[in-house]
Amino acid sequence: MATTTIRVLSEVAGLLRAPQRVVPLFMKLASDDLRTTFEHRHLYSYATTIIPAADALQSVVGWILDAQRPDGGIAAYYSLLTGYSDSYPEVTGYIIPTLYDFDRMAGDTAARSAAERATRWLLSLQLQSSAFPGGLRSRGGDARPSVFNTGQVLQGLVRAHAETRNAEILERAVAAGDWLAAIQQGDGSWTGAAAYQGTAHTYYSMVSWALAQLADESGDQRHGAAADKNIDWVLTHVQPSGWIKGINLHGHPAYLHFVAYVIQGILECGILRRRDDAIQAAAKSAWVVLRKFETHKRLLGTYQADFKSGQKFSCLTGNAQMSCVWWRLFEVTSDLRFLNAALKMNEMLKQLLPLKGRRGVLGGVAGSYPIWGRYQPMRFISWGCKFLADALMMEQRLMRNFEASECA
């Protein structure tokens, strides 16, 4: 309680330090209030393209580039109260592939340069143990190793090596992968001091995805085996309802962001490791979420076990992640219903994207919709932008292929 109060007071104090933020804050509050009051979602919502994906993508990537700090890391968020945060290693790691993808798609060298600067910054953070630290890099930062952050940084390093063929990057990535494999528990999970809240989490399937990427890049199958072992453990948590238990966040509800992490990690790892069991489990869970979205034209911000109920705000990051999952499932299964839902989800997210506004707001993905929702309130968050950018790039690529095959 005291921690929460201190956090709220510190956020509000940010507004006192920079009163010019009052205008965008009230504009966002007013626009979300109006939208939530008058919006009516129905069966036909989002079935029409109103905002082109390319325009939205340009804005979202623009937000990410603006969020790069002088040290090379990407800020975690832009708060309507306190402005930009410090650099955040975890998201900087997994934003690197997004920046390279955008460079390849749009020929944007600024994105490539940003990815290179981000990589250099990440390498400077690697700990003696070869792990990467958790938390924001503020005032010296937290130097304790973190399993999840190491996994997400690994995604960036693997991609950076694939793009640059810089041997040092691969060497560092392999060392980080070795650290992850070394501290993995016998059952395939990660627990202990380097795990968030000291406990095992199924959303660490995202770490397995990174290890699977590393195994493909380095050819060293030890990391692939570690990924398989963790996925085996995660799959023991799959429920008949499609829910995957074991998110294990004490003091937080299961935000859609984490639910989507679990599914995305299993799916991507399953694809790389050619594991049908993992793909099927992810598809089952993703289909349950798809039905909820198609029926209600929204997903809840949090879910309880077996997707039974939750809080009514929208966790936009989780929505963007589910879009990515559905695009990938369409790629893997050719089931057009995944593509259909992903198109609609992207449309919903594009409609909630600020396409006007000042730096930090323009093109930003809010933590919650409405902005005062429980997940990252009053903030535009870089990982939300990353997943939306990924989803929009998948839309462009897969719809181009689909429409070309239809016209052939």
Using CB under 8 A, list all residues that contact another protein. Answer: 40, 42-49, 287, 291, 294-295, 333-337, 339-341, 343-344, 347, 399, 402-403, 405-407
Q: How far is the CB of 402 from another protein (least distance, A)?
A: 7
User: Is the CB of residue 149 less than 8 Å from the CB of residue 111?
Assistant: no
Dist. CA 408–CA 279, nearest whole Å? 30
Pick the closer one to another protein by CB: 221 or 334: 334
- Smaller CB separation from another protein, 293 or 387: 293
For residues 215 and 227, is the Cβ–Cβ distance under 8 A? yes
388: closest CA among 372, 364, 370, 368? 364
Is there a contact between 77 and 69 (Cβ–Cβ < 8 Å)?
A: no
Q: Starting at the earlier edge strand, list the strands of the sheet with 379-381.
A: 83-84, 77-79, 379-381
Q: How far apart are CA 179 and CA 181, in angstroms?
A: 5
- 45 burial level (CB within 10 Å; 0-12, 13-18, 19+): middle
Q: Which is nearer to another protein, 46 or 255 (CB)?
A: 46
Cα dihedral across residues 163, 169, 171, 174: positive or negative: negative
Distance CA 63, CA 370 (A): 19
Verify cis geometry, omega within 30 degrees of 0, for the bond prior to 370: yes
Q: How far is the CB of 46 from another protein (least distance, A)?
A: 8
Written in H, E and C, the secondary structure of 88-149 is: CHHHHHHHHHHHHHHHHHHCCHHHHHHHHHHHHHHHHHCCCCCCCECCCCCCCCCCCECHHH
Which distant-in-sequence residues (6+ apart) come within 8 Å of 246 by Cβ?
200, 201, 202, 234, 237
Number of residues that this document lists for the chain: 408
Which of 125, 128, 178 has the alpha carbon at shortest distance from 149?
125
CB of 296 to another protein, least distance (A): 11
Closest to another protein by CB, 142 vs 335, is 335
- The nearer residue to another protein, 112 or 337, going by C-beta atoms, is 337
Closest distance of CB 41 from another protein, Å = 9
Query: What's the min distance (Å) between Cβ of 106 and another protein?
Result: 21
Residue closer to another protein, measured from CB, 136 or 394: 394
Rounded to a whole number of angstroms, the minimum distance from the CB of residue 347 to another protein is 8
Q: Which is nearer to another protein, 241 or 340 (CB)?
A: 340
Shortest distance, position 11 Cβ to another protein, whole Å: 37
Minimum distance of another protein from residue 49's CB (angstroms):
6
Query: Smaller CB distance to another protein: residue 21 or 297?
Result: 297
| Shortest separation between residue 283's beta carbon and another protein, angstroms | 10
Q: Distance between CA 167 and CA 306 in Å, rounded?
A: 45
Nearer to another protein, 221 or 401 (CB): 401
